[in-house]
Amino acid sequence: MRNVGVLGASGFVGGELLRLLDGHPQLAVAVAGAERHAGLDVAEVHPHLGVYRGLRLAGSDPEGLDGLDVVFLALPHGASGALVPELVDRVGLVVDLGADFRLRDPAAYPRWYGVAHPAPGLLAEAVHGIPELCRDRLPGARLVAAAGCYVTAAALALAPLVAAGAIEPAGVVVDAASGVTGAGGEARPATRFAAVDEDFTAYGLLTHRHTPEIEQATGAEVLFTPHLAPMNRGILATCYARPVGPGSDPQELLAAAYADAPCVTVSDRVPSTKAVLGSNAAHLTARADPRTGWVVSLCAIDNLVKGAAGQAIQCANLALGLPEAAGLPLVGLWP
């Protein structure tokens, strides 16, 4: 059994990490940290996690994590940049679920996040964590930057098509909708029930921070427009691109790319967020439209599982030499 720490354990993603890790056959939670809730019992903060009754939330002191096999950081963007350099030599593996180590180019951080990166020397070492696209870099890694939720859906839908030369890498459109949990657990006027219920709205026009990460993961120039949907969980990404010549069937290319990927299903069925609810599954389909000359590729995931906590565990499994899908549900909740 490997000992695990979870920092940021009081948020939606932290709670999801704890839920999934409880069912993991080889990872056991030894430390759960949440600065603002330090001293509280986990079950007081997360009533659905009664299995952790008696485990008190700690702070985020790196010394309290010494010797752990894995530490998951489910912290707000900007919080892990200064913490990771202190952790990488203290623990076996750090999996950061924030954006602090996702972009390889340090110059991108001032532009998209408004701050200089505090540890640019670690950016080249960090593995951008979408296992289906970086499986060969994960074994033995000591720092993984788990991909963003929008990025995961868009990259799974587009990366194999770009890699195969089947679509033009310029002028790709990513139109994606997310559930409200994607905004995190902190109360905000725009994400309260009364604001979100019976509404559907776009946000972050031309400036969303996931844009450079999508481009890095896909190798395409992307116009990305995110939307907030009136649901708790889920992401549906609908991606449009121009084909490169006739003959390539995008559905066949996706099926071949993910033939050995246990968490990905490619089928003719149109992906649905409800079908992947609570699971680490990604459902994809693609079509080439001879009438308009466009290719459309779609992906549905649960933003808290395959888009965050589940994917982080999937990355850790591969980094530690464990079965890729260990501890991960691959079947959605229905109805």
Neighbours of 270 (CB within 10 A): 12
The pair phi, psi for residue 160, each rounded to 5°, is -65, -30
Residue 32 and residue 53 in one domain: yes
Residue 124 and residue 211 in one domain: no
In a domain, 166, yes or no: yes
Both structure tokens of 263: 């968490």
Residue 158 and residue 293 in one domain: yes
Q: Please, what's the b/e burial string for 300-315 (b: 16 or more CB within 10 A of its CB; e: otherwise)?
A: bbbbbbbbbbbbbbbb
- For residues 252 and 37, give the distance between their C-alpha atoms in angstroms, rounded to a whole number: 49
When divided into structural domains, the chain yields a total of 2
Residue 142 and residue 239 in one domain: no
Residue 90 has what pLDDT? 96
In a domain, 99, yes or no: yes
Residue 122 and residue 202 in one domain: no
Q: Are 83 and 73 in contact (CB under 8 A)?
A: yes
The pair phi, psi for residue 167, each rounded to 5°, is -130, 155
Is pTM beyond 0.75? Reply is yes
Residue 241 sits in a domain of what CATH number?
3.30.360.10
Residue 72 has what pLDDT? 98
Both structure tokens of 140: 């033995």
Residue 130 and residue 271 in one domain: no
Active site positions, annotated: 149
Nearest to 254 by CA among 283, 228, 292: 283
Residue 134 and residue 155 in one domain: no
Which residues neighbour 240 within 8 Å (Cβ) at sequence distance 6 or greater?
172, 173, 175, 294, 295, 296
Residue 298 and residue 311 in one domain: no
Residue 185 and residue 241 in one domain: yes
CA 122 remoteness from chain centre: 20
Amino acid at 191: T
Residue 158 and residue 51 in one domain: no
Residue 202 has what pLDDT? 96
In a domain, 334, yes or no: no
Q: Are 6 and 69 in contact (CB under 8 A)?
A: no
Strand partners, 225: 175
Nearest to 97 by CA among 166, 146, 142: 146
**Structural domain of residue 253, as residue ranges?**
149-302
Residue 37 sits in a domain of what CATH number?
3.40.50.720
Residue 192 has what pLDDT? 77
Residue 55 and residue 128 in one domain: yes
Residue 247 and residue 219 in one domain: yes
Per-residue pLDDT of the chain (335 residues; tens, 9 = 90+): 999 999 999 999 999 999 999 999 999 999 999 988 888 999 999 999 999 999 999 987 888 899 999 999 999 988 999 999 999 999 999 999 999 999 999 999 999 999 999 999 999 999 999 999 999 999 999 999 999 999 999 999 999 999 999 999 999 999 999 999 887 766 577 777 878 899 999 999 999 999 999 999 999 999 999 999 999 999 999 999 999 987 789 999 999 999 999 999 999 999 999 999 999 999 999 999 999 999 999 999 999 999 999 999 999 999 999 999 999 999 999 98
Residue 126 has what pLDDT? 98
The pair phi, psi for residue 33, each rounded to 5°, is -120, 140
CA 61 remoteness from chain centre: 25
